[in-house]
A and B are shown apart, each in its own frame.
Chain A
Amino acid sequence: DTGVSQDPRHKITKRGQNVTFRCDPISEHNRLYWYRQTLGQGPEFLTYFQNEAQLEKSRLLSDRFSAERPKGSFSTLEIQRTEQGDSAMYLCASSRSTSGIGETQYFGPGTRLLVL
């Protein structure tokens, strides 16, 4: 069990550029989540996948954001035309779905984005 990994760990970009982040979940975890955390706040849910299907998206996920999990393993989160308000820590988590029992989400180290 190598844990959830995220790449890159840090990203600095200029306003208007596109950025893409990658998340590799714990193997055999079929659910994958993206959260965003701004300074002084707790993480906020963005979206989640079960296998390759994107099952829920937050209203925080504007049309500039897109997430994919094409083969049900790793996931990518792309932000197009970045804005300064997109500066945040982007956290990925994974879990294994259970029936009738609560799940535990395990988090990666995050990708810190700074938009200049």
Chain B
Amino acid sequence: AQSVTQPDIHITVSEGASLELRCNYSYGATPYLFWYVQSPGQGLQLLLKYFSGDTLVQGIKGFEAEFKRSQSSFNLRKPSVHWSDAAEYFCAVAAPGFQKLVFGTGTRLLVSP
């Protein structure tokens, strides 16, 4: 069964600084990979996804992520963080051909002035 690890529970970044959120997955082949963002009390909004092809994927709000098969990672990056980016970020995987998403425990991003 697939699993996801997000090793950072909390991250604090200064506004305007760069951001990288880590995600490692466990799966025997290449899974489908997703990053979602959740604001307090809200549902999940899709930031970006990887199914196949180019390993660097662009998403909304200036986010990007890179799939690295050798490291079983799918880290999320943003070159310059805005205060409105403060939220909880979830990495998720799905096995091709299966419908359920398996989520990590999330990383809470705090943005300092």
- Residues of chain A whose beta carbon lies under 8 Å from any beta carbon of chain B: 4, 6, 31, 33, 35, 40-45, 48, 55-56, 58, 91, 93, 95, 101-110, 112
Contacts and interface: CB of A to CB of B under 8 A. Distances in A.
Interface in B1-58: 4, 32, 34, 36, 41-46, 49, 51-52
Contacts of B46: 104-106
Contacts, number: 60
How extensive is the interface on chain B, given as a class? 20 to 34
Interface in B67-88: none
Nearest to A46: B100
16 contacts: A40-B105, A40-B106, A41-B105, A42-B90, A42-B103, A45-B101, A48-B100, A55-B99, A101-B51, A102-B49, A102-B51, A104-B46, A105-B101, A107-B44, A109-B42, A112-B41
B103 A43 contact: yes
Nearest to A50: B99
